[in-house]
Amino acid sequence: MRARDDVTTRPVQVQIPVAVAVAVQVQVACYRPGVPARVVCSAAMPVDLVSLLGDGVELDAPAPGQARFSPDALRARVAEADALICLVTDRIDAAFLAAAPRLRVVANYGVGIDNIDLAAAARRGVAVTNTPDVLTEATADLAFALLLAAARRLGEGERLLRAGRWGGWEPGLLLGVPVAGQTLGIIGMGRIGLAVARRASGFAMSVIYAGRGRAVAAADALGARQVTLPELYQAADFVSVHYPLSAETHHLVDRAALAAMKPTAILINTARGACVDEDALAEALAAGRLAGAGLDVYDGEPAVRAALLACERVVLAPHLGSATTVARRRMAEICAGAVRAVLDGRRPDTLIGARGEEGAA
């Protein structure tokens, strides 16, 4: 690999989000002709990244048959990397960034950016990007699929049938709760929250929402009504979480919140696992204080709490929110475009700080 003096830099002003509260000079690398930029991708992608990145790039990605680099392998590979495309489950903290002195851009393959230490990136002049908008509809589809599956106990029914324990139609078999005409409570009315509200309108559901979000005006136009969080917990038949993870939203749905919900209510989480106190959720489900749950994200994933795995009334999905061919390809295209922009000395369109972020992937 080339020495550090093989690059020249020029400053680009980047405003990091309010939570970081600093303005920094991001040094965007401009590479000399004939010297390839080293780009590391932490996981295998369902697209041809080499073609998307274009000329003058050396790509280091997992070999065929290998899903992703281990944390240690990834850290070793970024030691001489100019750019990184990472997953939302890759922890990019201050120590990681310090081990990558040449790094100029981290392109996060997802919307949520709670896996990246933005302050540390700002101090080192590393641009951070994400993939907004393109996974909104896919994630909303998945949230509503979980809602329907949990309401109608589809997971339990499939397990019963596959185990050969179904004895035929019975009037009282796996009775669920209705969806049409019920009240949906959305926590966080951003892009994904609004998309879920649109789907709820097709089921003639009443929609209430709590908390901040960029789509409040559009939600009001749909007939959704803003309430306080305690009011939402008490009134909703379904509660769907769509907040990004932060210090303020960690265990936002805690033991007290679960106790305030109707015993017939169902909780849906497609945001971040740690937004929900999963131990308290498992206890509430086991005790019958909650009718069910649908989860796509987990605190500490890919590990899932044994108590949740043992609970019949929870539908579990392996972080599939954005898992459509269209969404995942577009996410890769956005990451590659952001990397290319920084390597070419341009400001990437999806630079963090230009918009508010949502907590989904």
Q: Enumerate residues 6+ apart whose C-beta is below 8 A from 111.
A: 88, 130, 131, 132, 135, 357, 358, 359, 360, 361
**Known active-site residue 68:** no
Place of tokens 């405003």: 15
Pairing of β 127-129 and β 105-109: parallel
Q: Which residue(s) pair with 86 in the sheet?
A: 108
Cα distance between residue 185 and residue 190, in whole Å = 13
**Known active-site residue 333:** no
**φ, ψ for residue 86, nearest 5 deg:** -125, 165
Catalytic residue among 231, 283, 301, 333: 301
**Known active-site residue 319:** yes
- Alpha-helical (H) ranges within the chain are 49-53, 71-77, 94-98, 118-123, 136-151, 154-162, 191-201, 216-221, 229-235, 255-260, 278-286, 306-309, 325-343
Residue of 232, 177, 241 whose CA lies nearest to 207: 232
Q: Enumerate residues 6+ apart whose C-beta is below 8 A from 167.
A: none
Catalytic residue among 77, 242, 319, 340: 319
Q: Please give the C-alpha separations between residue 276 and each of 4, 105, 245, 293, in angstroms, as whole numbers.
A: 45, 31, 10, 11
CB-CB neighbours of 43 under 10 Å: 17
Indicate if the alpha-carbon torsion angle 71, 74, 75, 76 is positive or negative.
positive
Question: Distance from CA of residue 154 to its chain's centroid?
Answer: 24
The amino acid present at 35, given as its one-letter code, is V
User: For residues 84 and 40, is the Cβ–Cβ distance under 8 A?
Assistant: yes
> What 3-state class would DSSP assign to 129?
strand
**Catalytic residue ranges:** 272, 301, 319
